[in-house]
Structure 1
Amino acid sequence: MSLFEIAFSGEVVTGADEAQVRANLARLFQADEKRIAQLFSGRRVIIKNRLDAAAAEKYRAALTNAGARVEVAPMPIVEEIDLAPPPAAAEKPSTDASPVEKRVSVAPRDEVMAAFMNVDAPDFGLAPVGADLQDQKAEVAAPKVDLSQLTLAPVGSDIGEEKPEAPAQVPDTSHLKLV
């Protein structure tokens, strides 16, 4: 069964007065002027979705009679995907180098928690009060840089030398005459 959606982009049918169409839609949707202004913003607004063909045609006819130009489009098909169940503990490859994790089993205290009864989660545990939770950072050794070729300027001296300004070049105007 195909499902349809009704979309409106703020366009009116040919020969219709926009103010009259706004009033018709306000009466049809029982909406205030603010909501009607949102419909006429120029953006494509989905008015109704998940309609069968007969209901979509009924909406289209009612909105066209009100003076609104609407688009009836089939809804995009959303494919449902079944997720694979999580691998069982027996299927997990075991390596000697990996640490063994403790697992938590939760006893449900009410209906909501009963949904989490068969959750396989690692036991992170709780740290004792006052324990530092951040791992210690390794000390970083300062890089060894050879600075023997560098020297320091004496105290009070300028680090950079000022470059003398180049004298301005005066153009030769001897060949020009005033007429």
Structure 2
Amino acid sequence: MTRFEVVFQGQVQAGAAPEQVRANVGKLFQVSGSQLDALFSGRRIVIKQGLDQVAAEKYRIALERAGAQCSIVPMDGPAADVPPAAPAQPEPAAQPAPAAERPPASSPLVPRDEFMAAFSDVEAPDLDIAPLGADMQDEYDAFTPLPIDLSALSLAPVGSDMGELKKDDTAQVPNTDHLKLSEE
């Protein structure tokens, strides 16, 4: 079954006031300030992913009622199918990154959004999964017993007191012979 993601790029519907749309989307997602600025930055933001088509349509309808434009993208397809939106505010001209910071041209990893872009330069070892029942420890060290002489020790028989100190259970009862009760 195909799963979908709801993508928002800060675009508003034609004829809608941008400030009103920002307020509506802020109420819809219960965000304000910098979170709202990030939503309307013009970057590709995945609002929700892993949805079936009916649930994705509900998100799209709710955003359209707020005055925003969003798209529903199948998660199986590449993320490059969605054309980038024009930024809501003009940004200064970006300078190209130095060659040392630029990813290689043949890099198959293309981040799908701003969150995943943080992981694009991570180099992780290519680890595989061990088969079921495999021993996970590489090798065991040879066991060398310590030279401790335990011959003087023995086990106590079952039910023995193990040398516990006996408590003195004889409580001293005070002498109350001199006390009398009187009825008045």
Q: Tell me which interval the TM-score lies in, with the shorter structure as reference length.
A: 0.3 to 0.5
Q: TM-score, normalised by structure 1?
A: 0.46
Q: Choose between structure 1 and 2 for higher RCO, CA contacts under 8 A separated by at least 6 residues.
A: 2
Q: TM-score, normalised by structure 2?
A: 0.45
Q: Tell which structure's C-alpha radius of gyration is larger.
A: 1
